[in-house]
Amino acid sequence: MTSCDPAPRDIWLAYVEFADHEGVGKVRPVVILDASGKASVITAKITASANYEPSSFVEISDWESCGLRRPSWAQIEPLVEVRRDKLLRDEPLGQLSPSTYDLVCAALNSSEQNEDGR
């Protein structure tokens, strides 16, 4: 378990289970979107490839200053609930800049509005 409380914008390494293989997953960076839960946090996975559905990804253009090792994107669909004890290390890797976090939030709001309009 982490010794520090995660907060929105923080980028953490976490063990994330694959949606289609219960109990199987990998360690990957995630950005905290909602840390209000006692047992878990809501996150967006961070990936080095955004070659799927472009509207589901937000480019992290300032990836180096965020503590990431390569060009990256925040995957806004699907969001992932991660138990706090699956956050690794004692501190975050870094933090999204306020402007990138705003882009992620705007993309999430747009995605939710599109789902409501279906």
**Residue 15 to residue 79: CA distance in whole angstroms:** 14
Structure confidence at residue 23 as a pLDDT band (50, 70, 90): confident
Structure confidence at residue 27 as a pLDDT band (50, 70, 90): very high
pLDDT score of 113: 72
Cα–Cα distance list, 77 to 4, 90, 92, 112 (Å): 27, 27, 22, 10
pLDDT digits (tens, 9 = 90+) for 50-92: 677 778 999 999 999 999 999 999 999 999 999 999 999 889 9
**Residue 101 to residue 118: CA distance in whole angstroms:** 26
Sorted by where each starts, the structural domains of the chain and their CATH numbers stand as 10-116 (2.30.30.110)
The single-letter DSSP state of residue 90 is S
Token digits of residue 29: 């960076």
